[in-house]
Structure 1
Amino acid sequence: MRGPARLLLGAGAALLAARRLRARPYDLSGKVVLITGGSRGLGLALARELTGRGARVALLARDAAELDRAVQDVRARGGQAIRVVADVTDAASLERAVQATVAHYGQLDVVVSNAGIIQAGPLTDMTEADFEHIMQVNGFAALRVTRAALPHLKRAGGRVLIVSSVAAKAAIPHLGPYSVSKFASYGLGQALRAELAPHGVTVTTVLPALMRTGSARQVTVRGQFEKEYAVFATLDNVPLLSLDAPRAARQIVGALVRGDSEAMIGGPAHLLRWASALAPGLTADVMALIQRTLPDSTGRPDARRGAQAETPLTRGNPIKQAAERDLNQL
Structure 2
Amino acid sequence: MTEHPTGTDSLTATSPVAVVLGASRGLGFLVARELVDRGHHVVVAARDRSEVDEAVAELSRRGDVTGETCDVRDRHDVGELVGRVEHTLGPIEVLLTVAGIIQVAPAATLVLHEFEDAIDTMAWGPINAAMTVLPHMRRRGRGRIGTVTSIGGMVSPPHLLPYATAKFAAVGFSDGLASALSGTGVTATTVVPGLMRTGGHEHARFGGDAAAEYSWFAPAASLPLLSVDADRAARRIVDAVLAGRPMVVLTPLAWLGIRVRGLAPGMTTRLMGLAGRLLPAPPQRGGARTVEGVDARRRVGSRVVHVLSRLGDAAARRNHE
TM-score, with structure 2 as normaliser: 0.89
Amino acid aligned to 1:244: D
What is the alpha-carbon distance in structure 1 between the residues aligned to residue 213 and residue 136 of structure 2? 43
Would you say the 8 A contact 1:126–1:301 is kept in 2? no
User: Identity percentage over the alignment?
Assistant: 35
What is the alpha-carbon distance in structure 2 between the residues aligned to residue 201 and residue 212 of structure 1? 31
Partner of 1:309: 296
Q: Secondary structure at the match of 1:199?
A: coil
Is the aligned partner of 1:30 residue 2:15?
yes
Q: Secondary structure at the match of 2:226?
A: coil
Partner of 2:318: 326
What is the alpha-carbon distance in structure 1 between the residues aligned to residue 148 and residue 133 of structure 2? 17
Partner of 1:90: 74
Is the aligned partner of 1:230 residue 2:215?
yes
**103, 106, 109: which one aligns with 2:90:** 106
User: What is the number of residues matched between the two proteins?
Assistant: 300
What is the alpha-carbon distance in structure 2 between the residues aligned to residue 315 and residue 109 of structure 1? 42
Amino acid aligned to 2:107: L
Change (3 A) 1:315 1:66: farther
Is the aligned partner of 1:150 residue 2:137?
no
- 1:23-102 paired onto structure 2 within 5 Å: 30-76=15-61, 78-102=62-86
Partner of 1:278: 263
The alpha-carbon deviation at position 175 of structure 1 amounts to: 0.4
Q: Secondary structure at the match of 2:162?
A: helix
The alpha-carbon deviation at position 156 of structure 1 amounts to: 5.3
Amino acid aligned to 2:199: G
The alpha-carbon deviation at position 198 of structure 1 amounts to: 4.5
Amino acid aligned to 1:98: V
**201, 213, 216: which one aligns with 1:216:** 201
Partner of 2:250: 265
Higher percent of residues as helix = 1
What is the alpha-carbon distance in structure 1 between the residues aligned to residue 278 and residue 43 of structure 2? 42
Q: Secondary structure at the match of 2:236?
A: helix
**173, 177, 196: which one aligns with 1:192:** 177
The alpha-carbon deviation at position 320 of structure 1 amounts to: 2.0
Would you say the 8 A contact 1:212–1:244 is kept in 2? yes
Deviations 1:175-196 (A, max 9, x none): 0111111110000002211223
What is the alpha-carbon distance in structure 2 between the residues aligned to residue 257 and residue 63 of structure 1? 27
Deviations 1:139-166 (A, max 9, x none): 0111111122123222250011010001
Change (3 A) 1:300 1:321: closer
Would you say the 8 A contact 1:113–1:163 is kept in 2? yes
Partner of 1:23: none
Partner of 2:145: 160
Is the aligned partner of 1:139 residue 2:123?
yes
What is the alpha-carbon distance in structure 1 between the residues aligned to residue 69 and residue 60 of structure 2? 18
Amino acid aligned to 2:247: E
What is the alpha-carbon distance in structure 2 between the residues aligned to residue 240 and residue 135 of structure 1? 30
The alpha-carbon deviation at position 286 of structure 1 amounts to: 1.6
What is the alpha-carbon distance in structure 2 between the residues aligned to residue 250 and residue 116 of structure 1? 19
The alpha-carbon deviation at position 250 of structure 1 amounts to: 1.1
What is the alpha-carbon distance in structure 2 between the residues aligned to residue 65 and residue 230 of structure 1? 29
Q: Secondary structure at the match of 2:92?
A: coil
Would you say the 8 A contact 2:21–2:28 is kept in 1? yes
What is the alpha-carbon distance in structure 2 between the residues aligned to residue 169 and residue 46 of structure 1? 22
Amino acid aligned to 2:94: V
Q: Secondary structure at the match of 1:197?
A: coil
What is the alpha-carbon distance in structure 2 between the residues aligned to residue 139 and residue 93 of structure 1? 16
Unaligned runs of 5+ in 2: 1-13
